[in-house]
Amino acid sequence: MLSCIQKIIEKIYKVETFLDVENYLIHEPLSNTLTNQNSCNIKSQSSKGYLFISQDGEELKLALYLGRETVSNLKNIHLQKDFRSSNLSDFFLATEEISHFIYAVWNAMNNRQISIFEMELQAEVDKYITAIFYNSSINSGRVPAKNIKRQLFEDSVLNPDLLSEERERYRDANRMAMNYCHYLESNYLRKNDIPSLLKNIRHFYRLGQNGKIGYINDITFH
């Protein structure tokens, strides 16, 4: 299922990492002794998963942590005719971390520096877009955008153990992504204009942090 999510994201945005995310999957958190000043953990909002990144010269080391229960639950999603709320949380968690993985690798391949906020913002958008395309593929093209948007943005709950800085970053990323996804729903999904939707989100994907923020501000306040 993880490789399937990866393929969906890479196909949507027309990017390639030439890596299989499942080869970087770990089921137990890394020891703190393995982290250093050149490494960081990009956590999920629930802190039930994270992407470990370590830079050693030009070498980028990666590990994606997801618990065994989450991975096990994901194996049954493709059998569902509709996303159940119990499965949707696991789908969002996995998609968030796979989004981080793809975005980190693709930008490194293109010699582009990225920020943690930029990764979180893109991951919020990726969760919405990936859920829509995946759900559409198993529901004869039906796209329940409102249901997905509500569960992703309106009903999302942050882990109370997150640091205040992390909570603020997630709130800002979630709010900005919600505004962008509302724009996508209003202008493209309601009209079933998938070609224009893909053109827009592929352009957005390739923007840096300032470009993403500026674009969302433009469509929100103008």
Per residue in 46-63, pLDDT tens?
568 889 998 877 788 899
Distance CA 8, CA 84 (A): 20
C-alpha dihedral (21, 64, 128, 16), degrees to nearest 10: -30
Residues 6+ apart with CB under 8 A from 27: 65, 66, 67, 68, 71
Q: What is the pLDDT of residue 33?
A: 47
Place of tokens 């070498």: 59
Helix (H, G, I), strand (E, B) or coil at 47: coil
Tens digit of pLDDT at every position of the chain (222 positions): 899 999 999 999 999 999 999 999 998 877 654 555 556 767 655 568 889 998 877 788 899 999 898 888 888 776 555 566 666 888 899 999 999 999 999 999 999 999 999 999 999 999 999 998 887 765 555 555 667 887 788 777 777 777 788 888 989 999 999 999 999 999 998 898 999 999 999 999 999 999 999 999 999 987
Q: What is the pLDDT of residue 160?
A: 73
Q: What is the pLDDT of residue 15?
A: 98
The full set of domain ranges for the chain reads: 2-221
Distance CA 146, CA 120 (A): 21
Place of tokens 């942050």: 158
- Please name every residue paired with 43 in a beta bridge, in sequence order, or none if there are none: 50
> How big is the CA angle at 57 (ends 51 and 61), to the nearest 5 degrees?
25
| Burial category of 21 from C-beta neighbours within 10 Å (exposed 0-12, middle 13-18, buried 19 and up) | buried
Q: What is the pLDDT of residue 222?
A: 73
For the chain, the straight-line distance linking the first and the last C-alpha, in angstroms and rounded, comes to 40
